[in-house]
């Protein structure tokens, strides 16, 4: 699981990297998928890996939202952004809320499972918190079959007196395992003073067919979509799995 600096001492960067409005397209997609596939009756939604609560800001208009994240700093942002939402500290593989939801979504953190075993533990836990007829939605930016070695991109961000250039590079040092790494390099100038921050993330790299095998064992009916939000400040594109719990 991730101990990356972006969720700890560099978590304040989220308020610069993204704007709240950038999350609207993802929220609209989630709402559309729920309307299409949900069979359970209710509007209770669990946002796993809720981060700073950007999705929840808009989801709470249509759902009774509960959020969970393993990083206290990120939960602090979420609680300030959505004081009326119920938030919990917990790991995606092991949290237990002792109730079931109509929707379980994870838009930003499934990739922090590093093995198929961890991925399956996470999906089993999600299933255990989902009503029959409910919908599970999760996003994975990279799969084995579409991974681009040494992919590099950069963006410029501004807020007040602060300027930040973000350089992101992904690299798979061992194609035989299920992990890759990506570095985030921040070139920060604040009131004319410069500093450089480096953040290493380790993420899982899985095959689509093996993910579908796990979902089939868990009695999910699966639809797959490709999302492209590469035009946003914090770019994101890749496959999203929409899973109806049928038993």
Residues of the chain with CATH 2.20.25: 144-203
Q: What confidence tens digit (pLDDT) does each residue in 182-220 have? A: 999 999 999 889 999 999 999 999 999 999 999 999 999
- Predicted confidence at residue 232, as pLDDT, reads 55
Residue for token digits 């969970």? 68
- Predicted confidence at residue 66, as pLDDT, reads 98
What is the DSSP pairing of strand 162-171 with strand 130-139? Answer: unpaired
Task: Tell which CATH architecture fits domain 144-203.
Answer: Single Sheet (2.20)
- Taking domain 5-142+206-245, whether its CATH number is 3.40.50.80 is answered by no
Burial of 158 (0-12, 13-18, 19+ CB in 10 A): exposed
Which residues of the chain are modeled with pLDDT < 50? 1
Q: Distances from the Cα of 240 to the Cαs of 140, 156, 174, 184, 228, in angstroms? A: 6, 27, 25, 23, 10
Residues of the chain with CATH 3.40.50.150: 5-142+206-245
Query: What are the structure tokens assigned to 145, written together?
Result: 């079959």
Rg (CA), the chain: 18
**Using an 8 Å Cβ cutoff, are 214 and 206 in contact?**
no
Within a 13 Å sphere around the CA of 40, how many CA atoms are in the beta-carbon half? 22
Q: Between helices 208-217 and 116-128, what is the axis angle to 10°? A: 40
């Amino acid at each position: 699981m991730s101990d990356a600096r972006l969720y700890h001492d560099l978590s304040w960067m989220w308020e610069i990297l993204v704007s709240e409005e950038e999350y609207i397209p993802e929220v609209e997609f989630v709402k559309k998928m729920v309307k299409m596939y949900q069979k359970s009756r209710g509007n209770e939604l669990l946002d796993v890996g809720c981060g700073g609560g950007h999705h929840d800001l808009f989801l709470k208009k249509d759902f009774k939202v509960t959020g969970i994240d393993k990083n206290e700093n990120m939960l602090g942002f979420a609680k300030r952004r959505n004081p009326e939402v119920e938030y919990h500290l917990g790991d995606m593989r092991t949290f237990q809320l002792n109730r079931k939801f109509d929707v379980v979504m994870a838009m930003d953190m499934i990739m922090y499972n590093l093995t198929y075993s961890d991925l399956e533990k996470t999906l089993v836990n999600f299933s255990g918190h989902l009503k029959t007829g409910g919908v599970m939605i999760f996003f994975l930016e990279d799969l084995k079959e579409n991974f681009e070695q040494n992919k590099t991109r950069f963006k410029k961000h501004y807020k007040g007196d602060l300027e930040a250039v973000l350089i992101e590079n992904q690299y798979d040092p061992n194609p035989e395992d299920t992990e890759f790494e990506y570095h985030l390099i921040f070139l920060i100038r604040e009131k004319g003073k410069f500093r450089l921050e480096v953040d290493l993330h380790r993420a899982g790299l899985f095959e689509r067919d093996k993910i579908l095998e796990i979902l089939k064992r868990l009695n999910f009916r699966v639809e797959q979509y490709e999302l492209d939000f590469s035009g946003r400040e914090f770019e994101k594109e890749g496959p999203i799995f929409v899973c109806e719990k049928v038993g």
